[in-house]
Amino acid sequence: MLKTPVLVVNYKIYDVSYGHKALELTKVLERIADETGIEIAAAVTLPDIRLIAPKTKIAVLSQHADAIEFGSHTGFTPLENLKDAGAVGTLINHSEHRLRLAEIEFLVEKCRKLGMVSIVCTNNVATSCAAAALEPDFVAVEPPELIGGDIAVSTAKPEVISGTVEKVKRVSSRVKVLCGAGVKTGKDVSKAIELGSEGILLASGIVKAKDWERATRDIVSGMLK
């Protein structure tokens, strides 16, 4: 299980975030995790799990898993294969890879059985509560108020975060909430955590930064007491 507060870095699939560059980025994250004691996890592409997992101490997650059992499913990947490759968990239902409700439930349940970490991404309060009813380890919320605009966590109305956390916890107190949007600086991070988030899901803010180390240190600074 991931220790909180946690920083989950989604590598997506940029030309700067796969293959040996993904490994370099992971080494940066690992160093900062080591120094600060903050848990950092790397969500990498499916073919890169076996490149990175054996060479790092930080948690490696898959960016996706298919809701299948073993069988005739050419080109699809079940959780067992991801676990064998070195992933300790997976993102589920990312906004760029939405899944059917029955698939999300299947994956959350199977992560539980396999001892893998499940992080279900959601797009508003209602879907966050629905996801929470499935009892994944984490719900990573991207509040619509914080997407693609100038509003960050530290400038938004506090209720955008605290309200979601509260409603999710009412559905299931065991589910932890990650803030998946509106985080640009360490200040946003500390605000998000103050408002009840137990971590951050971040992608381009770190992955596409000119200076990975600097960007990550800034974000992680918001998690240090």
Selected from 35, 115, 133, 158, the binder of a second copy by CB under 8 A is 133
Interface with a second copy includes 118 (CB under 8 A)? no
Distance CA 87, CA 84 (A): 7
Per-residue CA distances from 90 to 13, 40, 52, 53 (Å): 16, 14, 15, 13
Catalytic residue among 142, 145, 159, 213: 142
Contacts to a second copy from residues 138-157, by CB under 8 A: none
Smallest separation (angstroms) from a second copy to the CB of 191:
25
Considering beta carbons, is residue 39 or 48 the nearer one to a second copy? 48
42 has which bridge partners?
9, 60
Give, to the nearest 10 degrees, the angle between helix 125-132 and helix 159-171.
30
Query: Which residue, 46 or 192, has its beta carbon nearer to a second copy?
Result: 46
Active site residue 69: no
CA distance 68 to 196: 34
Distances (CA, A) of 75 to 11, 15, 72, 174, 214: 21, 23, 9, 34, 38
Rounded Cα distance, 91 and 38, in Å = 20
| Residue of 6, 12, 160, 219 interacting with a second copy (CB under 8 A) | 12
Candidates 2, 29, 41, 85; binder of a second copy (CB under 8 A) is 85
Considering the rule CB under 8 A, would residue 78 count as an interface residue with a second copy? yes
* Whether 135 is catalytic: no
Please count the residues of this chain forming the interface with a second copy, following the rule CB under 8 A: 64
Q: Could you say which of 39, 94, 105, 198 is catalytic?
A: 94
Q: Which of the stretches 5-13, 33-41, 150-158, 183-191 binds a second copy when contact is defined by CB under 8 A?
A: 5-13
**Residue 146: CA count within 13 A, CB half-sphere:** 26
Binds a second copy by CB under 8 A, chosen from 7, 33, 104, 116? 104
